[in-house]
Homo-oligomer: A and B are copies of this chain.
Amino acid sequence: KYHLNLMQDLVATQDNQLESLRNKITDLTCITDGILTWKMDDYKNMFATTKAKTSHEICSESFYTSRYGYKLGATVFLNGNGSGEDKYLSLYIRLLPGEYDNLLEWPFRLPITFTLFDQNEHFEKRVNIRESFLPDISWKHFQKPEKDSDALGFGYPKFISHVMLNTRNYIKDDALFIQIKVDTSKVIPM
């Protein structure tokens, strides 16, 4: 009995340690250069799951525009949402509360490009799908995000139609690649 109690404590401690490690790793993953190339494996299953539910959202890992920059996350609705529902893949980006927000300029003004890669093995035959936008700084999406607020996503309800997505090599080996690229070339490092 005595040993069992001791071990219960130890296992509980380990659980906390695991949680803390997971968070640290998530933070590490975030350190980046404003370019997230998001591989979505297991497309067929994920699409089936998302079709069965209404507005089923898949979130990317979050990432930073620079080591001490803005924190962002992308969101995909494989079966579409809003005006894209049932016929399109919808793709959004949102600002997340980041560690360095108080050091950064607001609203967020960096241009963002979404790319869906054509995985044709011949580079010259690839037709990537690409959409770019410049944040409209009057919109709520681009203000400093508040903790615990459910920030809105900005993007494309009709990013690509299901019909088109199944052409070419947008899906290959049951995986697709979406890249979110934040143009940080005009940011002056502190």
Q: Chain A: residues with CB nearer than 8 A to chain B?
A: 3-4, 7-8, 10-11, 14-15, 17-18, 21-22, 24-25, 28-29, 32-33, 35, 37, 39, 67-68, 99-100, 102-103, 105-106, 115, 117, 119, 121, 123, 169, 172-173, 175, 177, 179, 190
Residues of B within 8 A of A17 (CB): 18, 22
**Which chain B residue has the least Cβ–Cβ distance from A147?**
B173
Copies per complex of this chain: 3
A27 nearest CB neighbor, chain B only: B29
A173 / chain B contacts, CB cutoff of 8 Å? 102
Contacts of A39 in B (CB 8 A): 99-100
Contact between A102 and B35, CB atoms less than 8 A apart: no
Q: Are A100 and B37 in contact (CB under 8 A)?
A: yes
